[in-house]
A and B are shown apart, each in its own frame.
Chain A
Amino acid sequence: MTFLSWPFAAAVAAVAIPALVILYLLKLRRRDVEISTTLLWKKAVQDLQANAPLQKLRRNIMLFLQLLVLAALLLALAEPVMKSGTFTGERHVILLDRSASMATTDSPAGSTDPSARLDQAKKEALALVDSLREPGLFARTTNAAGDEAMVIAFDDAADVRQSFTSDKQKLRAAIEGIVQSDAPTSMSEAMRLAQAHSPRRARSETDTGAPEADAAPSGPQISIHLFSDGRIPDADRTKPAPEDSFEFHSIGSGASGNIGIVSIRAQRAYDDPKKLNIFVGLQNSDTSERKVDVELTIEGSVAAIKSVDLPAATLLGSVSTPASPGGGTAPETPGAPDAKPQPPLNPGVGGVVFGIEREEALLAEVRLRPPPGSRAELDAFATDDRAFIEAPPARRLRVGIVTSGSLFLSSALAGLPLAELRTFTPAEYAAMANRGESPPVDVLILDGVLPPASGTTNTSGLPPGRFLVLGAVPVPAASKENPAPLTDKGKSGNATIVNWLRTHPALRNITLDSVYIAESRDVEVRAGSTAVSLARTERGPAIVELSSGPTRAIIVPFDIGASSWPLDVSFVVFLASALDYLGGDAIAGASDSTQMGATVSQRLPAGASDVRLLPPPGGADGAETALSPLPDGTVVFGPVRRAGVYRLTWKGGMAPGDFEEGGRSVRRIPVNLLDPQESVVAATPTVELASRVVASKDGTFKGDQRLWPYVLLACAGLLMLEWFIYNRKVHI
């Protein structure tokens, strides 16, 4: 049991109890009078008391007061409310923007509240909830239901925090439970959710079965309340139902300018991997020119500071209203007849490049600071004032080749920037394999050679490691419960490559149209296995990727010596790309940071176990979560909603770029906002929907005023008055 208004009750008690005690004391303080005899007085009092019921029935003030008290009690039972008429609908959808720009700590005009926009939005939404009409105390018997509301929080995704209910406690808890995200804004999913949860509208029919004259939708009207700063790029793609009212409550100041990082990239020079360039793109949405210091911090220590001048943002010319308000089905929003869309803002852009020489992998942080001498804060929106980037290590691959002599291969590999190229003869390789050793290389190229079938091979027919197999098909000893992914059907005639996966990293940027294969080899890829065909001839797969546990391989079954491929430029590119791909993700010379809201997929080294993810510090979701890797070592998590560095730790080996900390391997995954739209934080007074332009609604919410507490209060006052008069009038 909770006492919702106990301070009020305590206040009343603090007044009423002393008043009662004072009256009681007044009653006791009687004046002493000596009289000749009390004989007649006692008799008179006794007579009066004996006649008391009759006395009360006379026309006296006591009876009148008691009737008033009774009337007040009955009035209180009837639960009077004062209608405010704020809302017309009975169902409300509260859309609450929790996107990155809602973290801006500006305040609306005239207010000095330094809280974030999300807090202001929550406050207004709570005021809306408070103003909802509650069901009566006797709602079950009187069928007087109250308003219902649902709460949807959205950034680039939306989730229903509370479905339709009239329980204000639940609604308040749902609103207060919304946490800030750093993701960009997208409203369409939220609107779809709102419409999906709306009750179906039925056309009411009369008892005779004939539809009513106006055939108006009889479902309850829905009021959609959007609490946002109005920076919603896809607002013009959302279309509320014509009969639903849409109210926009603009949060934040329209004059808020912002400087933010909108892009970041780290790139190593291809020819000299020691040289690392970090590109930072900046955007200024302030209407004045801004000077800003960009600070580069590498692994916690400041490496460089560069000053950048950013041009002022300019307003583009006003645009026409997207939808005509007189369209008939789309009613104009009440209270906003002259709502006009805001002209779009063209922010000033700039950039800065940091060039450093660092061989190892590193985590760089770029932070915007106000120029020296300026005391003011840089801007009210802090999320995009810093960005993280993980630069790959300047490392080259160690490649081994097992060949009986291939001119094409050795000359092609000689041109690649490799750390080491070791050549083994098939006999050497067989001897090593029989000893249970594997060559100390990152990627092993098997040119027409297969590892000896022994216990070390697994279902793919290859030992653990990374392989590029040319002119051979590794076929394991198939068992019934574990059939082989590939079946070698032997050599066949000539063929050309007709189709290939152009998006695969190994085949990117090449064309295989001109490759002619004189002696192809038929291979069958079993559906549902770990083998994927990357390229096909008219006869079947021509290039196959095989991922099986710790083994990854790209298999080219046909003999490249019996094809025109080695003479084609695509062969060298394929070789380099395949080696890069097999050698590992971190070998790439450039890295982009993960976009906000994306799902992150990371491939961990073979044998990684006990994988855990630690989100950036400071968020509500700060707890470490355990992840379970897929069979090929990939872990997937997300969508990420917080800017900062996510840390992935596991037990097991490390890939290039990872480091060890406390006995566990650690990989850092920087996540940044990097959204030019979201970085423009000036609140808009209107929001453009597909069907109408809605202006922000000002003013506070005012719900139905419940009167019964006042009636009860009057009742208590009447009772006290009655008590007082009773003691004034009567007797002993």
Chain B
Amino acid sequence: MLRTSTISRPTKLEDLLTSKEIARLDPLDLASRRVFFGKLKGERRSKKRGHSVEFADHRPYVSGDDLRHIDWNIFGRLDKLFLKLFLEEEDLSLHVVLDASASSDCGEPNKYHFMQRCAMALGYVGLVNLNRVAATIMSGIDAASDDARKSQPSVVRALRDLRGRRRVHDLARFLCAMRPGGTLDFRAAAERIALSRRGKGVMVLFSDFFFKDGYEDGLRLLVGHGYDVVLVQVLSPQELDPPVRGDLRLKDIEDAETAEVTISAPLLKRYQSNLNAYCQRLREFALRRDMSLVTVRSDTPVDTLIAERLRRLGVLK
């Protein structure tokens, strides 16, 4: 909730993932509730019948089929021609989207830092398992720029078509190159992402979903193109239980809007019930649109989120 007082921005992979976490991530692989067709042969089983060694099914021979796939053993027993079908192994496209608006730069631990680490962990899992990994950062400021106000925040920045373990460092560099800032127009950003992506796959969207213009339009755009969308709502412990007391002028970190409040027990209670309702509405919206939602605190260990929460959702296996 509160702006993080001091923060050390990560600069390289080791800042994002420790070796212990990497070791825990290694056995994991991406999964999707839907099975999508890949572009390249990967390590992921495809719906397409292909040329892997894994047997899938038999079907009767029709003229024109490749004679190489006739199961001669069955012809010997039944005197009928059957084709032997094998499962095709394909790659899976993983798209990680981060909300780098100024509101992400809050909380203790910092929400954006948490998102960076989760994205890195997911990306790592994807790359290691020979999946195609793309990363997009909505809003945000170039970390190399010193003056946040002078550098224009970009709507989206993307890194596409990473494949293979070698690209892990590229992904880490990309994630560390941006720091949060600016105001996010979620609908515009979602539109850009939806138009620019190719193929199908799993999209994991990290955000707090506190958009004043609403999240509905943007999510509708994202869910439309055959993507399995997983929403990860990251909330800081301070947002869940505000540590503020007394007479305050609350200032929105993004649009500098202020609210004068005198914190009292009924007000805090009202705030928490509002927050719960907000999260509940988001969850219901996601369910209706066939999206998965997981709400996490930013002090959750990254491997716990990846290895337990997302695995339970079926994003990883």
Contacts and interface: CB of A to CB of B under 8 A. Distances in A.
Given A33-B2, A729-B262, A45 B267 contact: yes
A23 to B, nearest CB: 12
Contacts of A55: 266
Contacts of B236: 36
Interface in A2-35: 26-27, 29-35
A35 B261 contact: no
Contacts of A30: 247-249, 260
B250 interface: yes
Nearest to A29: B247
B208 interface: yes
Nearest to B246: A31
A44 interface: yes
Nearest to B265: A729
A39 B267 contact: no
A47 interface: yes
B267 A731 contact: yes
Interface in B260-291: 260-262, 264, 266-267, 270-271, 274-275, 278
A435 interface: no
A210 interface: no
A41 B239 CA distance: 11
Contacts, number: 101
A29 to B, nearest CB: 7
B262 A731 contact: yes
A36 B106 contact: yes
Given A44-B270, A44-B271, A731-B267, A33 B262 contact: no
Contacts of B250: 33-35, 38, 41
A44 B267 contact: yes
B264 A33 contact: no
A732 B260 contact: yes
A48 B251 contact: no
B75 interface: no
A34 B278 CA distance: 21
A34 B106 CA distance: 9
B207 to A, nearest CB: 11
Contacts of A40: 210, 271, 274-275, 278
Contact of B3 (A34, A38, A42, A47): A34
Interface in B228-242: 236, 239
A41 B212 CA distance: 12
Contacts of B264: 728-730
Nearest to A45: B261
Contacts of B106: 35-36
B239 A36 contact: yes
A288 interface: no
A728 B262 contact: yes
B261 A41 contact: yes
Interface string A575-586: 000000000000
Given A48-B267, A728-B262, A37 B210 contact: yes
A111 to B, nearest CB: 58
Contacts of A33: 2, 244, 248-251
A731 B261 contact: yes
Given A41-B250, A728-B262, A732-B261, A35 B2 contact: yes
A43 interface: yes
Nearest to B3: A34
B256 to A, nearest CB: 9
Nearest to A41: B259
Contacts of B251: 32-35, 38
A727 B247 CA distance: 9
Contacts of B2: 33-36
Given A30-B248, A31-B249, A37 B262 contact: no
B267 A38 contact: no
Contacts of A36: 1-3, 103-104, 106-107, 111, 208, 210, 236, 239, 252-253
The bracket for how many chain B residues form the interface is: 35 or more
B254 interface: yes
B52 interface: no
B272 to A, nearest CB: 9
Contacts of A44: 267, 270-271, 274
B258 interface: yes
A423 B241 CA distance: 139
B179 to A, nearest CB: 16
Nearest to A43: B274
A38 B266 CA distance: 17
Interface string A188-199: 000000000000
Contact of B259 (A31, A42, A727, A730): A42
Given A44-B267, A48-B270, A731-B267, A37 B252 contact: yes
B257 interface: yes
A26 B244 CA distance: 18
Nearest to A730: B262
B107 to A, nearest CB: 7
Contact of B210 (A39, A45, A728, A731): A39
Most chain A CB inside 10 Å of its own CB: which residue of B104, B251, B264, B267: B267
A40 B252 CA distance: 11
A413 to B, nearest CB: 119
B248 A34 contact: no
A29 B248 CA distance: 8
A727 B274 contact: no
Contacts of B103: 36-37
A43 B275 CA distance: 10
Nearest to B212: A39
Contacts of B252: 34-38
Interface string B31-54: 000000000000000000000000
Contacts of A31: 246-249
Nearest to B258: A38
A732 B260 CA distance: 5
A38 B3 CA distance: 13
Nearest to B266: A48
B270 to A, nearest CB: 4
A30 B248 CA distance: 5
B183 to A, nearest CB: 11
B271 A727 contact: no
Most chain B CB inside 10 Å of its own CB: which residue of A41, A731, A732: A41
Interface in B206-240: 208, 210, 212, 236, 239
A35 B253 contact: yes
A727 B262 contact: yes
A38 B275 contact: no
Contacts of A27: 247
A364 B3 CA distance: 107
Nearest to B251: A34
A43 B267 CA distance: 10
A78 B115 CA distance: 70
Nearest to A55: B266
A145 B292 CA distance: 85
Contacts of A41: 250, 259, 261, 271
Nearest to B269: A44
Nearest to A58: B266
Most chain B CB inside 10 Å of its own CB: which residue of A29, A36, A41, A45: A36
Interface string B94-115: 0000000001101100010000
Interface in A57-115: none
Given A34-B3, A35-B253, A40-B271, A45 B247 contact: no
Given A31-B246, A37-B210, 4 more contacts: A29-B247, A35-B3, A37-B252, A38-B252
Interface of B: 1-3, 103-104, 106-107, 111, 208, 210, 212, 236, 239, 244, 246-254, 257-262, 264, 266-267, 270-271, 274-275, 278
Interface of A: 26-27, 29-45, 47-48, 55, 727-732
8 contacts: A34-B250, A34-B252, A35-B250, A36-B2, A44-B271, A45-B259, A728-B264, A731-B262
By Cβ-Cβ distance, the 10 closest A-B pairs, closest first, are: A36-B103, A37-B210, A44-B270, A36-B106, A30-B249, A44-B271, A38-B259, A38-B252, A34-B3, A30-B247
